[in-house]
Amino acid sequence: MTSNSPNYPHNTPATVKAVIACHNALVIANARRDREATAADDITLPLDTLLATLPQGSLTEAHLEAEGPHAGHIAVTIGERKPRYFELEAFLILRALGLFETGAIFIDKNNTDETKRKDYPEVFSGLGLTVPRILMNAQQSERVMQRQGGDHHDLTASNLRIVRGSQTTTRGRRDVIEEALKAYDKNAKDWGLSGHLSRWDYQALIENCFRFYDIKHAHRFLRVIGEPNAA
């Protein structure tokens, strides 16, 4: 599957504004938490506005789960596949990465054996990077696995862990940011979006979205020193 599908309409200023609004609300929430030494859970996020801008490219639909094991998580449908579950901060990362590339998020079939397949969302087909890898900020010689017995549709931080991997595995978040900026250079002006978000601010937006995720969930993916290689 290619990352630039002509079947998807490009984004509109409304989508860009919705992503920025949610981003800015999280900036305020974190500033309030630092100032008041509280969790700042009373901040109102414009999540409904962000959800209303879907479908966006390959992101077909998303909604906030109200009950059940995934309550409080965002259920995201990519194409016609079953929903994947993310935290709000992870969902915002996906939305930011897909602003200027309509097929930036897709699901790759990683195994032809139907009994062993765990199809993970990936970003930008030329990179071959899974969403769990960039969420967990896996580094060189590291890979991300699900916790034993976990549901591969559950891509929340509590269901993921970092283990040793191949030494040839080197790409990560920085490569994703560079790819997103290439998409901006290619499409922002033609789509009429460059006046709503500069290239400089777009890079800051993506980097901040990753920071939001780390602030909230980084305790879930601390590395164990001397961990044996998981084959």
CA distances from 50 to 23, 40, 54, 224 (A): 10, 20, 8, 37
Q: Which residue, among 154, 75, 163, 79, has the nearest Cα to 118 in the 3D structure?
A: 154
Alpha carbons 172 and 127: distance in angstroms, whole number:
9
User: Mean pLDDT over residues 94-116, rounded?
Assistant: 79
pLDDT of residue 43: 62
The most confident of 35-44, 127-136, 180-189, by mean pLDDT: 180-189
pLDDT of residue 45: 79
Share of the chain above pLDDT 70, in %: 85
pLDDT of residue 38: 57
pLDDT of residue 1: 37
Whole-model pTM: value is 0.88
More reliable by pLDDT, 61 or 166: 61
Answer whether residue 183 shows pLDDT above 60. Answer: yes
DSSP calls for 156-224: SGGGEEEEE--TT----HHHHHHHHHHHHHHHTTTTT-TTTS-HHHHHHHHHHHHHHHHHHHGGGGPPP
Which amino acid makes up residue 98? G
* Structure tokens given for 62: 């998303």
First to last CA, the chain: 28
Alpha carbons 118 and 110: distance in angstroms, whole number:
7
pLDDT of residue 229: 57
* Alpha-carbon dihedral 220, 163, 125, 115, rounded to 10 degrees: -100
Query: Which helix or strand (DSSP H or E) is residue 90 part of?
Result: helix 88-97
Task: Assess whether the previous peptide bond of 9 is cis (omega < 30° from 0).
Answer: no
Tens of pLDDT along 43-86? 667 899 999 999 988 899 999 999 988 999 999 999 888 899 99
Cα of 137 vs its chain's centroid, Å: 11
